[in-house]
Structure 1
Amino acid sequence: MQHVHSFAAGQWIAPGSGARSIASAITGDVIADAGNDALDVQGMLAYGRDVGGPALRAMTFHDRAKMLKALALYLREHRPALYGVSYNTGATRSDHQIDVDGGIGTMLVYASKGRRDLPDAHVYLDGVPEQLGRSGAFMGQHICTPLQGVAVHINAFNFPVWGMLEKLAPTLLAGLPAIIKPATATCYVTEACVRLMLDSGLLPAGALQLVSGGLGDMLDHVDCQDVVTFTGSADTALKLRGNANILSNSVRFTAEQDSLNASLLGPDAVPGTPEFDLFVKEVQREMTAKAGQKCTAIRRIMVPQAQEQAVIEAISAGLANVTSGDPRDTATGMGPLVSGAQKRDVLEKAAAIGTEATRVFGDPDNFAMSDSKGAFVPPMLFHCANPDNANRVHDTEAFGPVSTIMGYSDLDHAIALLNRGQGSLVASVITHDGDVARAVAMGAGAFHGRLYFNNRDSMAEATGHGAPLPHMVHGGPGRAGGGEELGGSRAVMHYMQRTAIQGSPDILTAVGNRWVPGAAEHADKPHPFTRVYGDLELGDTFNSPAREITLDDIETFAHFTGDTFYAHMDDTAAKANPFFPGRVAHGYLLLSFAAGLFVQPDPGPVLANTGLDNLRFMKPVQAGDSIKVRLSVKVKTPRNDEYGEVRWHVTLTNQDDEQVAEYELLTMNAF
């Protein structure tokens, strides 16, 4: 008998009054208990806000990203322990890889994105500065800073590790502490993972707390600096969303809930094509992975009416090869549902679907595990002959290995059926026809959080209908909850406050730690290319001497590069062009000459030029004009212990001080 603890205000708390029993999905025997009505939930909120929050906010995005990477690598080393405790949830070894390995992989992605997409700073700059006054002395900039509360994550039973880590990674990266509340049925797996993370010593105090069991009245005490997320049923989401305190304090609330996800077989994907075989394989996998207990599992299967019988036969043949049984047995292809209560719910929902559709595969009263005391059900495939007049197949989610096939007459009919689900997390379309893909994207995109297209060209690399990837948003409108998770660095912003900053260029530079044109320049120092990374400061500037552009320069460059475009070679033709006054210098000639004007040629701390961004040409340059360069340190980003990236703001002006070109130069500079 395992006593699943909570971790509150730095202490492990054993189950107490109000503890609930937890049964094994395999045997039905009680294996654990969890819950303590005496938890000091207000103390937990205060501990996160007063201890965890300041510690995380003192770190930069890069510091927090390094912490996430170290944490993920530590968990990876201890995966076997998590696999071992997960079997009692009904998960097979391949299910562990979705949950445990998938969660660790998601954390690693966020660690990488934190270093690549976010600054080594405490403030995230959202967009570019806006000029609010005529001269540029008054500017605006949107910034994002961490909320100063906690994130309360209320998670579902089906992914006790991934469901936690996919929310926790962007939360910590944003600088916000978290309180995790897993579903009681599988909280013993989450507790094992939390223990590992806390034992690693990598997290600052207060960054992570755990509630095993009920939350008590915690949601009555959250405020505008807190975030509440929920994954689970629509009924529970509605109850939580309607909490008076959450409403009155405008607390951020995100729900990921019931979803009647669908998969569409394109009209072109007839039997014998790679797309037909791919479709059958994807449907079978999504019905049986995690015993169908996935928020992204395929619940509705839409196929051309002419292919209904062929699809029924192909999917049924595949399901017949899936072995249900003890998930600890390597021969098992699908384990039990998570609990007896979940089994009863799935059978009840399947019966409701059965009032409008005919079961064509899977008999819950007669299958290999019928006599088991565990929560076993077989894969069940239904066929709805008249989906236009059906309701239950479009509004009832049996959260298990249950799916319904229905036929469509044409693509418009298929799109209408897709949208009957009134909002889903994902719809997949298996087609090799780009026009079909575009029609579905335009007609059904508004009803689905993700559209997954796959065919013979992408199937070798595609990750599958049911795999939410950390790079892409996860969530959906309507029935799916209207929330949004993941999506790369977008997810980090869900735990931050966007604020509009207004002031002078110097003020914006100081707040954002990024030099803004018009802010103070420091041009009285040695050439910046002669100074190591650590000696450079924002606004350090080099002003070059002028160089005249001659007609010989233009012609030599043209013949040397082969760029003999008429605007550089034919004065009459150039004058006929509304953009040019006559023959003009090549834009890339100007860039080349600019480099010659600011480069310091001797070996020094500049190791490499790695590119340029945001190049634009504003005014043509003719023979007889001259150019000069201003080079200013805009942003500094350390990359490792040996060198860092310097982003330089570069402007080219002519003899009349008119700007002719602008760009950002990237170099790697030694420490």
Structure 2
Amino acid sequence: TPEFDAYVRQLLTELTSKAGQKCTAIRRAIVPTGRVNEVVEALRGRIAERVVLGDPRAEGVTMGPLVSRAQREEVVRSVEELVAAGGEVLLGGVDQPDVVHADGSVAPAPDGAFLSPVVLGFADPQTPAVHDVEAFGPVVSVLGYDSLAQAADLVTRGGGSLVTSVATHDPATAVELLTRIGAYNGRVLFLSRDNARTSTGHGAPVPHLVHGGPGRAGGGEELGGIRAVLHHMQRTAVQGSPDVLTALTGRWHSGAATGDDGTHPFRKSLAELRLGDRIASAEREVTLDDIETFAHFTGDTFYAHMDEESAAANPFFPGRVAHGYLLVSWAAGLFVDPDPGPVLANYGLENLRFVTPVSPGDRIRVELTAKQITPRETDPYGEVRWDAVIRNGRDEVVATYDVLTLVAKTRDELRADRTPVPETAAVAP
């Protein structure tokens, strides 16, 4: 199956990459008992086909030596300890292998630290040594299991791992195994035919994923991105009025002061715009004809908009109501300044919530407030997040959401020969 092939590829990669000298290298390959021999033979074929041991300077070499002869001796001692505990060498061995030298010749290198990939098998997969002894080199033990419960038990016997990879195309199997083994791993990678070729792989965590694990894996974690920085900072709760919180956080908070100096906020560049700058629109009445026109034009003929009796039977509606997206579209028309200016594009909205239904005859208006201003370091424009609130004629909140726009930093950036062009597609506001 594709999952079998992905499994074997991962085994080979982790067995030979850096000669198996990685903290994430696979030390225990846990496979269905009836497929142990199949996995071993597949590995045998791939090793014979793809692994060329030797001096990395020689053409065609795919696997180099261990870091030192002392390390080779340590790995050999670990392999001998595993064999003494009941392990059987199925592939490879600890004798000096033939290697490709820098001049292209092939012969043993007794003064080097070369070791062939070693695959061990255990008649009893619960043998303590196979879970306790780590041969930090190109060594893996293949263990058979007869049920998912036993497979999970074998994983947990390791006492904590950085990562476990599971090759399966069955979501139910993935759910069961994660439930059983998740607490014993810093990361669990599920491989299937859908993601095997694009996955970062067993031993390659991406920067923003947790890298670390419980127990023998160290009990800690390494982090990428801002999370790593935050772990070295003190988290402090701050209380205050909306105005104080706005000043402290650089983000406008509901209830803080707003400003309207007579200039539409869309006519202001980032240099001129201030948190709290607001436009309060005029009202617009919603008619039944508007609702029906929008329904037929868009194809959204959901009964709450078209069937008075059915809508009234719904516990959330008093009768036929306007489409939420009709109201959001109208709101854009109510707050927009249509002429060319500092606002270059509207690239989306977030956190949309419809709170109060709007019936035919209701009137709506919108308040748009500059909520967050984020200049881009390397671009002549920045991002502005606007707090949008739609209200009805009774001053009830109809909908809330954030509007996201790209705005020129200064008016100089609007000259024809310097008009910034966003990399992402956007719709004019």
**TM-score (normalised: structure 1):** 0.57
Deviation of 1:348 (Å)? 1.8
Question: What pairs up with 1:150-189 in 2 under 5 angstroms?
Answer: none
Deviation of 1:471 (Å)? 3.1
Letter in structure 2 aligned against 1:364: V
Pairing 1:299–2:27 present = yes
Pairing 1:526–2:263 present = yes
Deviation of 1:344 (Å)? 2.3
Question: What pairs up with 1:100-111 in 2 under 5 angstroms?
Answer: none
What value does the CA root-mean-square deviation take over the aligned residues? 1.6
Aligned match for 1:617, one of 348, 354, 363: 354
Pairing 1:367–2:104 present = no
Q: What's the CA shift string for 1:280-318, capped at 9, x where partnerless?
A: 222111111101001110000111111112222221333
Structure with the larger RCO, 1 or 2 (CA within 8 Å, 6+ apart): 1
Q: What's the CA shift string for 1:602-652, capped at 9, x where partnerless?
A: 221211111100000111111222111111101111234321111100111
Residue in 2 that maps onto 1:403: 140
Deviation of 1:488 (Å)? 4.5
Residue in 2 that maps onto 1:290: 18
Residue in 1 that maps onto 2:70: 341
Secondary structure, counterpart of 2:348 in structure 1: strand
Deviation of 1:339 (Å)? 1.8
Which whole-Å CA distance do the structure 1 matches of 2:374 and 2:217 have between them? 39
Letter in structure 1 aligned against 2:3: E
Question: What pairs up with 1:43-54 in 2 under 5 angstroms?
Answer: none
Q: What's the CA shift string for 1:69-112, capped at 9, x where partnerless?
A: xxxxxxxxxxxxxxxxxxxxxxxxxxxxxxxxxxxxxxxxxxxx
Secondary structure, counterpart of 1:515 in structure 2: coil
Secondary structure, counterpart of 1:650 in structure 2: strand
The unaligned stretches of length 5 or more in structure 2 are 100-107, 410-429
Which whole-Å CA distance do the structure 2 matches of 1:650 and 1:317 have between them? 63
Deviation of 1:533 (Å)? 2.1
Bigger Rg, which one: 2
Q: What's the CA shift string for 1:122-148, capped at 9, x where partnerless?
A: xxxxxxxxxxxxxxxxxxxxxxxxxxx
Is 1:469–1:486's contact at 8 Å kept on the other side of the alignment? no
Residue in 1 that maps onto 2:53: 324
Deviation of 1:455 (Å)? 2.4
Secondary structure, counterpart of 1:496 in structure 2: coil
Which whole-Å CA distance do the structure 2 matches of 1:345 and 1:499 have between them? 48
Secondary structure, counterpart of 2:73 in structure 1: helix
Residue in 2 that maps onto 1:460: 197
Deviation of 1:340 (Å)? 2.6
Which whole-Å CA distance do the structure 1 matches of 2:366 and 2:340 have between them? 22
Letter in structure 2 aligned against 1:299: R
Question: What pairs up with 1:182-261 in 2 under 5 angstroms?
Answer: none
Letter in structure 2 aligned against 1:311: V
Secondary structure, counterpart of 1:630 in structure 2: strand
Which whole-Å CA distance do the structure 2 matches of 1:483 and 1:423 have between them? 11
Is 1:472–1:488's contact at 8 Å kept on the other side of the alignment? no
Deviation of 1:277 (Å)? 2.6
Residue in 2 that maps onto 1:105: none
**TM-score (normalised: structure 2):** 0.89
Aligned match for 1:535, one of 256, 263, 272: 272
Q: What's the CA shift string for 1:198-251, capped at 9, x where partnerless?
A: xxxxxxxxxxxxxxxxxxxxxxxxxxxxxxxxxxxxxxxxxxxxxxxxxxxxxx
Which whole-Å CA distance do the structure 1 matches of 2:14 and 2:44 have between them? 14
Which whole-Å CA distance do the structure 2 matches of 1:551 and 1:458 have between them? 49
Residue in 1 that maps onto 2:42: 314
Is 1:323–1:333's contact at 8 Å kept on the other side of the alignment? yes
Which whole-Å CA distance do the structure 1 matches of 2:358 and 2:96 have between them? 84
Q: What's the CA shift string for 1:567-594, capped at 9, x where partnerless?
A: 1222221111100111111111111111
Letter in structure 2 aligned against 1:662: T
Which whole-Å CA distance do the structure 2 matches of 1:431 and 1:652 have between them? 48
Which whole-Å CA distance do the structure 1 matches of 2:287 and 2:39 have between them? 72
Which whole-Å CA distance do the structure 1 matches of 2:336 and 2:382 have between them? 18
Pairing 1:576–2:302 present = no
Q: What's the CA shift string for 1:168-224, capped at 9, x where partnerless?
A: xxxxxxxxxxxxxxxxxxxxxxxxxxxxxxxxxxxxxxxxxxxxxxxxxxxxxxxxx
Secondary structure, counterpart of 1:383 in structure 2: strand
Secondary structure, counterpart of 1:499 in structure 2: coil
Secondary structure, counterpart of 1:298 in structure 2: coil
Instruction: Check 1:342–1:510 CA distance in 2 against 1; reply closer, same or farther (3 A cut).
Output: same
Which whole-Å CA distance do the structure 1 matches of 2:364 and 2:371 have between them? 21
Letter in structure 2 aligned against 1:641: D
Residue in 1 that maps onto 2:390: 652
Is 1:381–1:405's contact at 8 Å kept on the other side of the alignment? yes
Pairing 1:585–2:315 present = no
Deviation of 1:509 (Å)? 0.9
Q: Hey, which bits of structure 1, 4+ residues long, moved more than 6 A? A: none
Count of aligned positions: 398
Is 1:432–1:455's contact at 8 Å kept on the other side of the alignment? yes
Aligned match for 1:600, one of 332, 337, 343: 337
Residue in 2 that maps onto 1:429: 166
Which whole-Å CA distance do the structure 1 matches of 2:54 and 2:248 have between them? 59
Pairing 1:351–2:89 present = no
Which whole-Å CA distance do the structure 2 matches of 1:618 and 1:598 have between them? 20
Q: What's the CA shift string for 1:516-545, capped at 9, x where partnerless?
A: 111111123411011122110111111112
Deviation of 1:487 (Å)? 5.3
Letter in structure 1 aligned against 2:357: P
Which whole-Å CA distance do the structure 1 matches of 2:249 and 2:14 have between them? 46
Instruction: Check 1:549–1:277 CA distance in 2 against 1; reply closer, same or farther (3 A cut).
Output: closer
| Higher fraction of helix | 1
Which whole-Å CA distance do the structure 2 matches of 1:564 and 1:403 have between them? 61
Letter in structure 1 aligned against 2:76: L
Secondary structure, counterpart of 1:484 in structure 2: strand
Is 1:336–1:375's contact at 8 Å kept on the other side of the alignment? yes
Which whole-Å CA distance do the structure 2 matches of 1:363 and 1:434 have between them? 38
Residue in 1 that maps onto 2:175: 438
Which whole-Å CA distance do the structure 2 matches of 1:371 and 1:584 have between them? 83
Using the aligned pairs only, state the percent identity.
56
Which whole-Å CA distance do the structure 1 matches of 2:216 and 2:279 have between them? 58
Instruction: Check 1:293–1:533 CA distance in 2 against 1; reply closer, same or farther (3 A cut).
Output: same
Q: What's the CA shift string for 1:446-489, capped at 9, x where partnerless?
A: 11111112222222212221112113221111110121223544
The unaligned stretches of length 5 or more in structure 1 are 1-272
Which whole-Å CA distance do the structure 2 matches of 1:378 and 1:528 have between them? 69
Is 2:343–2:408's contact at 8 Å kept on the other side of the alignment? yes
Which whole-Å CA distance do the structure 2 matches of 1:543 and 1:517 have between them? 15
Residue in 2 that maps onto 1:68: none
Residue in 1 that maps onto 2:114: 376
Which whole-Å CA distance do the structure 2 matches of 1:518 and 1:462 have between them? 46
Aligned match for 1:566, one of 298, 303, 306: 303
